Chain A
């Protein structure tokens, strides 16, 4: 319900008294107003800035956070106020929404920050009032486009299993992906240039024939030019066919502009091959050669500026149409006027209105060839008005086109900068370094035996030692991770060593969750095989369904972690120095840190064996009843 409706509800209900006398049935009982408290001021403390409002104001929108009982979670008993650890500036607009019923979007605010705040407070962005809604939508769209660009870039970077066709298509679209693609790109570019130059040079007059007449080079060195043309056309044909083969959607590819240009560029040659014999049609054949100039448009694949220009013109189609239309109108008007003004004078070139079109166009575009000039006074007056208005009419749509071009150009610049792989790689690696720095603290502390001291009864000195080396926050975090380890009966593995081990164990398939596991000696030779066996037995004993559920839970954990960039996950990497941690972590006995690694394709669990223990590779286990296990990597937090 909209704003203020709650305030008017008593009026509406009172007005319902008017229905009573005409009603024939008894009325239902009214809901009792149980917690009828007097209206009170409540204090909302948002990151230190205090806002105060009536409780009723917030109750206007009961489906938001502030209007419902959800805000009780944020109630601070000591200070008797609601504390929100959010941005106070954005909160201002949100509170104003409750007060006035209109949600405004402040222009200086970042769009994603604003969206997050709205999501937190349970307000849907669609109710932004009209005065700010356009702005909000524009910014949102820009943001989404930028994210999509980023997503596309990331998609390009790594895709392990692509078919040959897909690789080819990617090579065609982004020449920077592989060297072959780059070579191909430059070769085609070179041949396009050659072809265009050939076409141009063909018409240059070179040399004299005995009958004292200039002939163009094309007719003098026919074979050479024909060979050149053939070579170029063959290259273009091959390229076109390869693109056609590699295109993910052939129909769509054939409809695209670039492919049409390709076809138009090579068709004249083939038509010429077919039709050389017939003399009558050769005239038409000559004109077909004009289309060879379209080969220059093939450069647009190689030049981004050309593409931007084309795109700009396409997006400014309406402005261009307007320009054309207004010019046409003006031309017709002025041509008519000039014709009738010049009708009187003798030997006037303005023989008809269409003849005056030429004068009008030349004058309006300020060319002024001078082949047609008005002679009468009236003609001269109207001619001057014509040239003045021409300047205006042409100048009007141009800024729109220019601003469009500039906007698209800058967008492309930004996309290019981000696409520059070096920048991206450097950024990602910097992020990874900072993340791994913080995440490797846990294994470091483990290695230093601090966690062990946590497990044992912490004596005072050890506590102090703890506090010295790690901050309270860190130690609490480590404690949490440790609890997690204890809970799941598995331990964290160092990232680097894990990946090495991954390659090793990729070839080894251990049967999972079969009772034979307990008899499997090869897991760990150390005493903690007992422990692993114990951990496995409950698993195997459990219903396969729940096992997959567990695995899937864990796998869900991995997939979440794995899909995003490494910068988003901080894997707690343990330094797996097996001997060292072996001494540390196993209370009962020296345990080799293990990790559950299951590999996607063979549905089995691998246990990363310690280097000491013999690990005979087993053949593939008999198919599990639930072959749907996914990759599980214990990479927690």
Chain B
């Protein structure tokens, strides 16, 4: 396989070279006809229509219009890829490094794992997060923490998540950030959530613990009017 591709490349380069020589000798003015080979593939994606989105989410028509207009302004092609998402998220956290957390978010939003977020995916998740029930929200959070989507949160996954969240803050924090603090946080989380102490947190354990915790329940509701 590799040999043939190499051979193909050699042949292509040879052809290009002879083309150059003939053009040089005959004195034809150069034109960029080499660029005709490459065509830029721009994705162009149409979202579903407004009524369908309205039925799928808890947003009103105006809210959907507002969201889409903002979305389309920044992503004219209709989809967000990971880099754009990271850049946008970095604008909100200029002091820290938001790339890792943005990556986790992206993976959490991207349900069909095709590397780009469409407007529907975003809006559906948004409706869950802002207008959904607490179970849905907790479900979403669990999916965020569960990086490899195996139904369990391991200590390493939690460590990664927490590290990325701490990274959002940046270097200039008080008190000074230490590696140990993150591990301590992980330990506390597992102490709280891991009921059967098997080293992993499953979805049921997670839901149970969170629903018993008043603080968490309260804090899940604070963004309900954000749109």
Contacts and interface: CB of A to CB of B under 8 A. Distances in A.
Interface of A: 1-27, 29-30, 32-33, 36, 38-39, 54, 56, 99-100
Contact of B222 (A4, A11, A30, A100): A30
B200 interface: no
Interface stretch (B8-16, B24-32, B44-52, B69-77): B69-77
A56 B108 CA distance: 28
Closest 9 CB pairs of A and B: A7-B70, A14-B129, A27-B219, A4-B74, A30-B222, A26-B215, A13-B226, A20-B219, A18-B144
Interface of B: 62, 65-67, 69-71, 73-74, 88-89, 91-92, 105, 108, 122, 125-126, 129-130, 137-138, 140-141, 144-145, 158, 161-162, 165, 185, 188-189, 206, 210, 215-216, 218-220, 222-223, 225-227
Contact of B130 (A14, A32, A54, A56): A14
A54 B225 contact: no
Contact of A14 (B62, B126, B219): B126
A32 B223 CA distance: 10
A20 B129 contact: no
B74 A7 contact: yes
B226 A14 contact: yes
B223 A13 contact: yes
B218 A26 contact: yes
A248 to B, nearest CB: 48
Contacts of B125: 14
B188 to A, nearest CB: 7
B126 A11 contact: yes
Contacts of A12: 89, 92
B92 A17 contact: no
A470 to B, nearest CB: 54
28 contacts: A2-B91, A4-B74, A4-B88, A5-B88, A5-B91, A5-B92, A6-B70, A7-B69, A7-B70, A7-B71, A7-B73, A8-B92, A10-B226, A14-B126, A14-B223, A16-B223, A20-B141, A21-B138, A21-B145, A21-B206, A22-B162, A22-B165, A23-B219, A25-B215, A27-B215, A27-B219, A38-B62, A39-B66
Nearest to B227: A10
B16 to A, nearest CB: 26
Contact of B141 (A18, A25, A27, A36): A18
A108 B210 CA distance: 63
Given A8-B70, A100-B73, 8 more contacts: A5-B92, A8-B74, A11-B122, A17-B129, A30-B226, A38-B62, A39-B65, A56-B66
Contacts of B161: 22
Most buried by B among A5, A6, A12, A21: A21
Nearest to A100: B73
Nearest to A56: B66
Given A8-B74, A10-B226, A11-B122, A19 B188 contact: no
B225 A30 contact: yes
B70 A17 contact: no
Most buried by A among B67, B130, B219: B219
What does DSSP make chain B's interface, helix, strand, loop or mixed? helix
Given A22-B165, A39-B62, A56-B66, A30 B223 contact: yes
Nearest to A25: B215
B162 A3 contact: no
B113 to A, nearest CB: 18
Contacts of B220: 17, 20
Contacts of A9: 92, 226
A21 to B, nearest CB: 5
Contacts of A25: 215
A54 to B, nearest CB: 7
Nearest to A1: B91
A18 B144 CA distance: 7
Contact of A29 (B74, B189, B222): B222
Nearest to B108: A18
Contact of A17 (B140, B165, B227): B140
Contact of A27 (B70, B73, B129, B218): B218
Contacts of A8: 70, 74, 88, 91-92
Interface centre among A8, A9, A24, A100 (most CB of B within 10 A): A8
Nearest to A38: B62
B73 to A, nearest CB: 6
Contacts of B66: 39, 56
B70 A22 contact: no
A17 B223 contact: yes
Given A2-B91, A8-B88, A56-B66, A24 B188 contact: yes
Contacts of A20: 141, 216, 219-220
Contacts of A21: 138, 141, 145, 206, 210, 216
A7 B65 CA distance: 12
A54 B88 contact: no
A163 B227 CA distance: 71
A197 B160 CA distance: 88
B106 to A, nearest CB: 10
A14 B73 CA distance: 20
Contacts of B158: 22
A392 to B, nearest CB: 16
A20 B220 CA distance: 7
A335 B70 CA distance: 68
